[in-house]
Amino acid sequence: MTAAFTWSKELGTGMTTANDIFNRPNQKSLADTSQPLVLVMGINYEVPKVTGNKLVRAVVGGWVTGGILRYASGMPTPVPTSSGLASYVFQNTRFNRVPGVPLYLKDLNCHCYDPNKELVLNPAAWPDALPGQFGVSAPYYDDYRYKRRSTENLIIGRMFHIREKTFLQIRGEMFNAFNRTRLPNPDGSNPLATLVFSNLGVSIAGFGRINAAASTTGERTVQLVGRFQF
C-alpha cells in the first residue's frame, strides 16, 4: 500500500481577466484548480497460498486485488461576474461579497437536499457592484467550493501459468466502485437571476440551481478483461 497526502495552497495573480487595475491586492487569489487537501492511496494485495491442499491452493491462492482511491477538497467556485460596468469601460467586474453572510443554503457535501427542487447557493451573499464601480471581490475564495468528488477504482484478477512462457490473465475492473452519484455543479453565474420552477416544482432557472436531469453521472462501471500471452 502506498499513500500520499497533500496539504497545499496555490495562489496567483491574473487567474481570470483583470478586474480593477487600480486595486492590485484583489487580483491575488487562489488558483482555479486549487485543492488544499488531497489524499491518494494505491493498494495491491495477493492472496497467499498457505494451505497444503493442492486444489484449494489452485482455486483460492494467487488472486490479486487492488485499487486507486483519491479524496480531495472541492474545486473553487468562481465569484459571480457582473456586467454593470460594461457600459462604462467595456469590461465586466465581479459581484461583491457580504462579510458574515452564509454562501450556501445547503451543504453541498451532504445528502440532505433535493437537487431537483432546492437551491444550494445563497444569492444574498453577493450584491452587485454599484453602477460605474469595480467590484472588490477576489476571483475565488477558499470557503466557496463545489462539492467534493472522490475517485474509487478497484480491481481483482489472477495470472494462470499454463507453460513456462504461456499465461492466461483474467481481471475484473470497477470504476466508481461504490456507485457514488455525481451531480453537476450548481449554477453560480448570476445572483440576480429570476427563480423559475415548473408546475411539478422542479427548478428550471435560478442562482444555485442544480440541473440534475442534464448530466448526472456516477453509475458503477465494471469491465472484464482476459489476456492470453504466449
Convert the pLDDT of each residue in 47-97 to its tens digit. 887 777 777 777 777 889 999 999 999 999 999 988 777 777 777 888 999
Predicted pLDDT of residue 56: 76
Predicted pLDDT of residue 15: 57
At 106-154, the pLDDT tens digits run 999 998 899 888 999 999 999 998 888 888 888 899 999 999 999 999 9
Question: Is residue 198 over pLDDT 90?
Answer: no
Predicted pLDDT of residue 40: 97
61 bridge partner residues: none
Sign of CA dihedral 13, 36, 150, 204: negative
Domain coordinates in residue numbering, the chain: 2-229
How far apart, in Å, are the Cα atoms of 204 and each of 91, 187, 199, 230?
29, 11, 10, 58
Average pLDDT, the chain: 88
Averaged over 210-226, what is the pLDDT?
A: 86
Question: Is residue 183 over pLDDT 60?
Answer: yes
Sign of CA dihedral 191, 195, 200, 204: negative
Looking at this protein, which amino acid is placed at residue 63?
A: W
Q: What percent of the chain lies above the pLDDT cut of 90?
A: 49
Calpha distance 122→80 (Å, rounded): 12
Q: What percent of the chain lies above the pLDDT cut of 70?
A: 97
At 33-46, the pLDDT tens digits run 899 999 999 999 99
Length of the chain equals 230
How far apart, in Å, are the Cα atoms of 53 and each of 56, 157, 163?
5, 21, 21
13-22, 71-80, 204-213, 217-226: which has the minimum mean pLDDT?
A: 13-22
Phi, psi of 100, rounded to the nearest 5 degrees: 85, -10
Closest CA to 125 of 100, 146, 107: 100
Predicted pLDDT of residue 161: 80
Question: Is residue 18 over pLDDT 70?
Answer: no
